[in-house]
Amino acid sequence: MANVADVSASPPTLRSGSLPELIDRETRRRLRRKVYVWASVTLLVAAVIGAFFALRPKPLPFAARFRQESVTQGDLVREVQATGRIEALVTVAVGAEISGRIAYVDVDYNQRVTQGQVMARFDRAALQAQLAQARAATATAQMLLAQAKTEQSQVARTLERVSRLYREHAASDADYESAQASDRLAQQRVDASEAQLAAQRATLALAQANLEHTTIRSPIDGIVITRNIDPGQTVASVLQSPTLFSVAADLRKMRVIANVDEADIGEVKVQQRATFTVNAYPERIFQGEVVEVRNSPVVVQDVVTYGAVVEADNLDLALKPGMTASVRMRAGSVNDVLRVPQAALRFSPPEQLVPPQGRDPGPAVWRIDGEGLRRIPVRPGLSDGEQTAVIAEDLRPNDRVVVDLTAGGKAAYDSAKSNAP
């Protein structure tokens, strides 16, 4: 207890300075800490605000929102495009009129042949036997006809004698009627024999023709482009004549059967110039002319096309039958005209710039005017699918017209539209 009393009774000892000085020093420390805190907070807020304004995307310039292309001046050609197959002007399919086994083949691919030249032969043994049989049957029919005519002559003489006696009342009615019946029967035998002889003669003619058909000959002068048979092969000609060879008359003149879409066929005319390329010679352009526009439609999976025939020279024989050709037919042309991109005529400005209800009807292009778009009416003409010839008072060559929104412009107007009340 004495120790506690002693401690409590002893006053604290100050190291240095008086009490007011200590209080003043503590106050200054606290003030400095507050100043540091407020300064730090102020700097942090300023940094956040600065970062916000620095990182915030800047507004896209008006002109950068649109993709533009130049107006040009020059010639414009309208072409109808199509694909087709190349073939010879005249191609003859050489077929077989009989069935049988091929004995030998005399020609091959790319071989030149003349009209009447032997190309192949069938085995003739069976047909030669048929011919001999037909000749024998014809001879038999001729003999039977001769016998029938001899009998008919005898019966006719008998009828004449009985008729004379009958008129003289020396022959009975039964004898007369019997003689008449015998004459009719003899005449029927003659008629039947004549019909049989005619049938046998027809069989003989058919056997002779079949034997002649065992030799396959070229019907024209030309070049063999296909061969579908080999020696020993059996050919069946039952329902239709099989094609043994294909012969092209002249490969120095070819044609393309171009399949033109129904939407374009009205622009294709006879005597139009045409060009085409083939995969074998992609850098070479072949020249031709439209010689025929067919009226028969070709429908494949609900797609309707019409055939346009383009003829072209092939003096170096570069073009082969069956090649695929990409054809361009010249449907029209204009010279020295203003040309605008087709996309410029299709462009429609955002609703934020030009409300739909405030737009004028009719074709037009749009040009950037300051911070807005200016509508320029045009009168369109011929188009090649990429550019269109136009007549416009306020357009000049090298003017820039809008063809579409850029990605940034599309995003800006989409955002503005979504944020609109």
- pLDDT, one tens digit per residue, over 332-355 is 889 999 999 999 999 988 877 777
| Model pLDDT, residue 226 | 93
pLDDT reported for residue 415: 73
- The structural architecture, per CATH, of the domain 65-76+337-419 is Beta Barrel (2.40)
Give pTM, 2 decimals: 0.60
Judged against a pLDDT cut of 80, whether residue 17 lies above it is answered with: no
Which of 82-91, 247-256, 356-365 is least confident? 356-365
- pLDDT band for position 4 (cuts 50, 70, 90): very low
Phi, psi of 340 (to 5 degrees): -120, 150
- Average pLDDT (152-174) is 86
Helix (H) or strand (E) holding 102: strand 100-105
For residues 197-222, average pLDDT: 92
pLDDT above 80: residue 421 = no
User: Residue 317 pLDDT > 70, yes or no?
Assistant: yes
268-298 burial by CB neighbour count: b if 16+ within 10 A, else e? beeebebbbbbeeeeeeebebebeebeeeee
Domain spans in the chain, listed from the N-terminal domain onward: 15-56, 65-76+337-419, 80-89+249-333, 91-119+217-248, 124-213
Terminal Cα distance for the chain, rounded: 84
Confidence category of residue 5, pLDDT binned at 50, 70, 90? very low
Element (H, E) at 250: none
Q: Identify the pLDDT of residue 91.
A: 92
**Which CATH fold would you assign to the domain 80-89+249-333?**
Elongation Factor Tu (Ef-tu); domain 3 (2.40.30)
pLDDT at 19 over 60: no
Does the domain made of 91-119+217-248 have the CATH classification 2.40.50.100? yes
Task: Say whether pLDDT at 22 is over 70.
Answer: no
Instruction: Identify which of 135, 125, 141, 267 has the alpha carbon closest to the alpha carbon of residue 194.
Output: 141
| pLDDT score, position 60 | 67
| pLDDT for residue 9 | 44
Across 266-291, average pLDDT: 95
Residues 6+ apart with CB under 8 A from 77: 330, 332, 333, 384
